[in-house]
Structure 1
Amino acid sequence: MDMEKYLALADVLSSRGFPAQDSTSDVGEGGPGFHLAPLAASHGLRVADPALRLAEVERFRDDMEALAGKLTERWGEPYRVGLQTVRLRTAHEEIPEPWARLSLLVGDVHLWELPEGGRWAALGVADLDQDDEVRLLLLVTDTDPP
């Protein structure tokens, strides 16, 4: 895990302007009111043994907790938020982006209201889609959580 790189990216995303439309950038994807950056991704887990995938998910969760500790030093105590209800709500109500998208990828997040005001940061492990790689994701948005 490249902690310094992740912290530097968190600083960039927390202050960078948001794109006017959905697009990709040097750090991930973004759109009106958000940046979503994959900090790390597994390789080859789409077709891997389930036990291997589970071990990798645990490693990513450990990395998430270590990074969350460093971000807490910068941004204060986070909320711990489960996104399952948000994911379920997408079936029958309009959930604002990027929260609807994030809820399909991540089960729970560390969530900070950034000290600069008006922005939120969420850190989580994208492991819900068994046909996709596991990723450590950082979201920065000006859209309040649902």
Structure 2
Amino acid sequence: MTLAQHLTALDLLRARAFPAEGFHMTELAVEEPTEEQAEAEREALALLLESRWGPPHLVGLYGLLARVGAGEAIAEPWALICTSVPDIQLWHVEARWVALGLAPCGEGEFRLLAWITETDPP
């Protein structure tokens, strides 16, 4: 996918009603999903989103993952997010949260994931 296609995908999801789970999640394809390529793709997309919405909140998720591991009930998609990626870039736009993260998916490969929700982070 190109950066323009990533933006289109995010815009379409932001405009859609949420399913029963209360969030949308999508994998934004990266042609060479090495950590370096996926990170470069996330940073390039984040720069475009920053030009639209301002700088993201950079959120480490280790603490939230520890809470989930201790048995605390965490609302979705936040429990899913913290078990999928170690950190996110997060924007709050028009009453919706948009999060970008990199998920390891095998030997040296990573997936660029995005979530959109109205549920506030815990």
Determine if the TM-score, normalized by the shorter chain, exceeds 0.5: yes
Q: Displacement of 1:33 after TM fit?
A: 1.5
Distance 1:119 1:41 in 2: 25
How far apart in 1 are the matches of 2:75 and 2:15? 21
Partner of 1:62: 40
Shift of 1:98: 0.6
Residue type at the aligned position of 1:81: V
1:38 aligns with 2:27: yes
CA contact (8 A) 1:42 1:135 kept: no
Identify the match of residue 79 of structure 1 among 54, 57, 70: 57
In structure 2, the CA distance between the partners of 1:121 and 1:135, relative to structure 1 (3 Å rule), is: same
Alignment partners' CA distance in 2, 1:137 and 1:86: 18
Correspondence list, 1:3-18, <5 A = 3-18=3-18
Of all paired residues, the percent bearing the same amino acid is 44
How far has the Cα of 1:134 moved from its partner? Answer: 2.0
Task: Work out whether residues 113 and 119 of structure 1, in 8 Å CA contact, stay in contact via their aligned partners in 2.
Answer: yes
SS class of match (1:90): helix
Q: Distance in 2 between matches of 1:139 and 1:132?
A: 23
Deviation at 1:42, TM superposition (A): 7.0
Tell me the TM-score normalized by structure 2: 0.89
Q: What's the counterpart of residue 23 of structure 1?
A: none
Matched position secondary structure for 1:6: helix
SS at 2:55 equivalent: coil
Change (3 A) 1:80 1:17: same
Aligned residue for 2:115?
139
Pairwise CA distance, 1:10? 1.0
Larger of the two Rg values belongs to structure:
1
> 2:7, 2:110 → 1: CA distance?
20
Q: Which runs of 5+ in 2 are unaligned?
A: none
CA distance in 2, matches of 1:87, 1:120: 19
Aligned-partner residue type, residue 100 of structure 2: L
Number of residue pairs matched by the alignment: 121
TM-score by length of 1: 0.76
